[in-house]
Chain A
Amino acid sequence: MKVDPSVKDAVLAAVPSLRAFAISLCGNVDRADDLVQETLLRALANIESFRPGTNMSAWLFTILRNLFRSEYRKRRREVEDGDGSYADTLKSQPEQNSRVEFEEFRAALAKLPPDQREALILVGASGFSYEEAAEICGCAVGTIKSRVNRARGRLADLLSIESADDFGPDRATRAVLLDSK
């Protein structure tokens, strides 16, 4: 396989963001990194289908997202250990206080339907436009917009309603259970 160095650089440059996306999708760092690896291999093997001049990052996100989707379908019934393990791997350890908040946020995010979660992340964190996000997800722009809105609404509900009695160790378990829909 022969890949132009500049293309390779572009791929490499997209890795940090790809990882962030992957981690927010699967909530588990090891799994996310495997997903990124698979994405890179797939991308480089099909590099000729990348159209120069188009957005490399969006192209890679599309591949990763599709891989995740097909894997997700297979794994849906497994219980993931996504919660808790994530914060421990962070570079900058959040302070105790914000750490609780952070975990809360992560748990809430994990409860969103995958469609909504990915739309929110693409637009709200990865910095893609609605149009780019629509392309990545293979749906209409309006669909992305409404998913993002619903995701925000749902998160707001989850975060404000659930925090009162959700500090117990049970929270992570519950997040997993509630995530099944």
Chain B
Amino acid sequence: MKERKPNRAGTKRMQKNEWGPVERGATLGRDIQAKIGEQLRAMYDDVVSQGVPDRFAELLKRLDQPDDGDRS
């Protein structure tokens, strides 16, 4: 907790125009970057952890079965 220029990390609940879009982009705080990466992966990994829904496992299985010797 150093006294520094206010950076976005701690300002999530700040008033809308307090800092405004002034320091956008150029110097993205590292903690914000990390936070974004974290949220992104959390969102993504949650879906990944659901595995393969039956729907798709069945789809592939169905494609497996078709009559081996039809017209190949």
Given contacts A20-B48, A90-B46, contact A125 B40 (CB under 8 A): yes
Distance A164 CA – B33 CA, assembled complex (angstroms): 20
A91 pairs with B46, CB closer than 8 A:
yes
A144-162, CB under 8 A of B: which get 1 and which 0? 0000011011011101111
Tell me the chain A residues, 58-107 only, with Cβ under 8 Å from chain B: 90-92, 101-102, 105-106
Given A153-B25, A153-B28, CB of A102 within 8 Å of CB of B39: yes
**Is A137 interfacial (CB-CB < 8 Å)?**
no
Contact-size category for A: 35 or more
Closest CB in chain A relative to B21 CB, distance in Å? 6
Chain B interface residue count, CB cutoff 8 Å, equals: 42
- Judge if A120 is at the interface, Cβ distance under 8 Å: yes
Bound CA–CA A37/B58 (angstroms)? 11
Q: Is A172 an interface residue (CB 8 A)?
A: no
Whether B1 is near chain A, meaning CB under 8 Å from some CB there, is: no
Given A12-B56, A15-B53, 9 new contacts (CB under 8 A): A16-B49, A20-B43, A37-B56, A40-B60, A91-B46, A156-B8, A156-B33, A157-B24, A164-B14
On A, residues with C-beta under 8 Å from B are 1-3, 5, 8, 11-12, 15-17, 19-21, 23-24, 33, 36-37, 40-41, 44, 90-92, 101-102, 105-106, 109, 120-121, 124-126, 149-150, 152-153, 155-157, 159-165
